Structure 1
């Protein structure tokens, strides 16, 4: 039994092991893809809390270090922890608005750490519940969520392409957008090359070449790389012990529920891309790793951890499904957290370069969702209205960022994310239309039901000949004779009968030939005897 289990595990796509050099290269590509996203929360929170540049540096190093540990736990996995999929973990951006609100409310950064710790502990306890709802995530739901992950990340790519800092003088300049466009073009051209290795590393090479171009144009500054310490271990509780405030904990608990929803969607998305089997047990292990990392985070001066959706796109576009590649990326993050000088090198990569790469990556996530939706059956049901309403509903906070400004904070926290709002709508509509059969119209009675396109299967066309035509509900051949239209079972029975007749006829013909041969032999023998 154990031998069979080991063999099955080795056959999983995500268990593929690549040579060390390629593993490190692909891992670095993952780090560069998510680096801007992982350092954004500490920059925002540090600024809101009024921390000095050195203290903000501590937050950034802690985010990199804990994100690396969380990634290693998620990809390698231990009993009950880690989904063992190529998922990159890092500081969740979903909690930024709530953490800023806690700071503005007078709680300070210690209250933020306390809220993260308490809410993550509750999230850890309810993680198995989320794992049991996998049956409510059919392709019509997962396709919507995966599509919305890509769509909701598009503004992030646009912001990066414009320069990343809206307060900078050159934000949105043609230079920044042009640099992003060059990086995008390089990624596409490198993907077009016949060499498979170059094609898979096209995003990394494009970012490197884009950075070189930025240096030549004077748009990249590496002068500050040498400033600061080379090695530094994150100091536990560098900002003091966490402070627990009920209001902050409740607000953060809502965020944790959103994170659990998004991580579940990311696990399902990666499973769809890699072709891996996703079970409720596997989701539970992934969510427990998510929350365990978030519980550890406040003690090491950082915040809630979650799966990074942008790296899901990198898995899709490169086709590299090995979880050990992402493990290598986690190791690089840990080293960056211990070696601030390396982090400063990566941080010097122009944000516009990341934006050019992000357009491809995030678009690929949306394309993966569309591919999933293409497998959904739309005939005789209301799946079309589920997809249409959920995507439109999830797009509201993306196309109109102030849509939920007048709503209560707890409501806005949940639905201000295009991913979570689309997920909630898709799940509820799937329950209403597909699980609760009462009242649902049948036979495409709804105006929202999709009319199936007119088409004929290829194997059916092969049976037609020139002159065959359909007349008065009957199929007529060129001679005017009717061709019977039968069911699949009747066709199989007729085919078997025909084959038996053919075989019987061949056998009869063979027997007849044998009999004819015997008669000829008998006649020849009789003739010879008469002559004798």
Structure 2
């Protein structure tokens, strides 16, 4: 009678028994599927440095360098999430990249600090990343203070705060230029917007997912005979390069900037928690407390390391979760392959400079869809925020109203101390603070029946 060797009890699971999240695919399919993830999030990765660079006075060449660095650091952060080590990483098909949540506060820091803005921004992100890393195990206890009524408000403000950037791009970007707001510039923006919408309407599958990227390419090609395309950035870029650590100088640590970016980190951690829970359900591996902790640690560590290589704060990219749901490819190693592709693109300055070729009006047309989608995502979150219960509608009204002040009335806080302006000039930061405080006042500090209404909309159960 044959006896099964005892060691087989602990043997590694066979491919047939392996969970789809841990499967490896054939090399060609691994590469093409990873490339699809990169295409779906590429525009979102390079858009923040394209906004922040000019806002803090960087040249086109330096802005292209920032874009390459953002691609490189997004790749590193994605590898931390998908492969992980120790208790770092959700080990799910989770894509990380530059967070839009930090754009408005970083622009506000640029207005306050001028030429020294980039080192101040990087110093603030390093501290915020360290805070997030050590706070990750305890964040579950704080998540109840970030229900959909808060997160939806913040995400909506992120999109609305970025839309003026798209409008400025659509007019040409440079207010002192003679053609600023010309029919040519606005016409190119409108044509690009129409192309993106038509592609989203009629294309299917992979091509539909990269409609914004295809719209940028088509808009740029149309802009060549119009005469508003500049190819000089490609000629100045090298084929191979490395994002030199602290290229813009050693990080500087200013209290006001640190407070502003710490608020952004809490917002990013809240978004990532929701994304981890959603992705766990989609791939059939529900996220537990350890998974959430590892995912948040990867976000925070990626953010803390990112400024070393001249990148910005990193967080989850929700559009890639939709891509996983659509394609049914659940392997985390596919997304890890996408992370390697991002690193390769970051090491090739020409790849980053190609984006610099895209005329600003073309970017503006695509940006209206891109940034508007962020706002729409926030509105979708608010739809599940039990607006009919308690004072949730009032919380949203006051938070968005105060968050819009820096957009609607840029000089509103001109008489306030300069140290406060870094926070006050960011509608996202002020709106987030107001939403948290009002949610505490109305849903946590009142009668038990009000707290019960708040508990019903908590994104994560608290034990």
Matches within 5 A, 1:339-488: 339-379=348-388, 381-438=390-447
Q: Distance in 1 between matches of 2:412 and 2:312?
A: 25
Contact map agreement 1:377 1:383 (CA 8 A) in 2: yes
The alignment status of 1:147 with 2:156, answered yes or no, reads yes
C-alpha deviations, 1:126-168, integer Å up to 9, x for none? 4444443112222222322232232222222222322334444
**Structure 2 counterpart of 1:86, from 77, 92, 95:** 95
| Structure-1-length-normalised TM-score | 0.66
The alpha-carbon distance between structure 1 residues 19 and 390, as it changes in their structure 2 partners (threshold 3 A), is: same
Give RMSD over aligned pairs. 4.1
Q: Say whether 1:30 aligns with 2:41.
A: yes
Partner of 1:263: 268
Matched residue of 2:73: which SS? helix
Contact 1:164/1:351 (<8 A) preserved: yes
Using the TM superposition, name which of 172-181 and 30-39 deviates more. 30-39
Shift of 1:125: 3.2
SS at match of 2:314: strand
Does structure 1 conserve the Cα–Cα contact (< 8 Å) formed by 2:148 and 2:381?
yes
Do structure 1's residue 176 and structure 2's residue 185 form an aligned pair?
Answer: yes
SS in 2 for 1:419: helix
**Does the C-alpha gap of structure 1 residues 219 and 315 become closer, same or farther in structure 2, counting only changes over 3 Å?**
farther
Note closer, same or farther for the CA distance 1:58–1:314 as it changes in structure 2 (3 Å cut): closer
Tell me the secondary structure at the aligned position of residue 226 of structure 1: helix
- 2:404 partner SS: helix
Q: Residue 418 and residue 261 in structure 1: after superposition, are their counterparts in 2 closer, same or farther (change >3 A)?
A: farther
Partner of 2:235, secondary structure, is coil
| Unaligned runs of at least 5 residues, structure 2 | 1-9, 452-463
Aligned partner of 1:529 in structure 2 is none
Q: Of the candidates 270, 276, 293, which is equivalent to residue 302 of structure 2?
A: 293
Partner Cα distance (2:69, 2:392) in 1: 44
1:273–1:292 distance in 2 versus 1, CA, 3 Å: closer
What is the Cα deviation at residue 210 of structure 1?
1.2
The CA deviation at 1:348 is: 0.8
Separation of aligned partners in 2, 1:364 and 1:317:
16
- Provide the C-alpha distance between the structure 2 equivalents of 1:133 and 1:434, rounded to a whole number of angstroms: 14
Give me the whole-angstrom Cα distance separating, in 2, the residues matched to 1:430 and 1:239: 40
Out of 314, 323, 328, the residue aligned to residue 306 of structure 1 is: 314
Cα distance change on mapping 1:239 and 1:120 into 2, 3 Å? same
- The whole-number CA distance in structure 2 between the counterparts of 1:266 and 1:438 is 28
Larger radius of gyration: 1
Over 3 Å counting, the alpha-carbon distance change for 1:26 and 1:431 in structure 2 is same
TM-score by length of 2: 0.75
Partners of 1:328 and 1:44 lie apart in 2 by 33
What secondary structure sits across from 1:307 in the alignment?
A: strand
Q: Do the aligned partners of residues 303 and 402 (structure 1) sit closer, same or farther apart at CA in structure 2, a change above 3 Å counting? A: farther
Distance 1:86 1:243 in 2: 27
Q: Identify which of structures 1 and 2 has the higher relative contact order when contacts are C-alpha pairs closer than 8 Å and 6+ apart.
A: 2
Q: Distance in 1 between matches of 2:124 and 2:386?
A: 44
Partner Cα separation in structure 2 for residue 46 and residue 441 of structure 1 = 48
Check whether the contact 1:179–1:214 (CA below 8 A) recurs between aligned residues: yes
Unpaired runs of 5+ in structure 1? 443-532
CA distance in 2, matches of 1:167, 1:316: 41
CA shift for structure 1 position 437: 2.5
Equivalents in 2 of 1:156, 1:327: separation in Å?
32
Structure-2 residue corresponding to 1:156: 165
**Residue 7 of structure 2: aligned partner:** none
CA separation of 1:317/1:261 partners in 2, compared to 1, >3 Å: closer, same or farther? same
Question: Is the Cα contact below 8 Å between 1:314 and 1:361 reproduced in 2?
Answer: no
Determine if the alignment matches structure 1 residue 73 to structure 2 residue 96: no
Partners of 1:146 and 1:265 within 8 A in 2:
no
1:104-253 aligned within 5 A? 117=126, 120-193=129-202, 195-236=204-245, 242=250, 248-253=253-258
Q: 1:395, 1:439 → 2: CA distance?
A: 32
Do the aligned partners of residues 401 and 76 (structure 1) sit closer, same or farther apart at CA in structure 2, a change above 3 Å counting?
farther
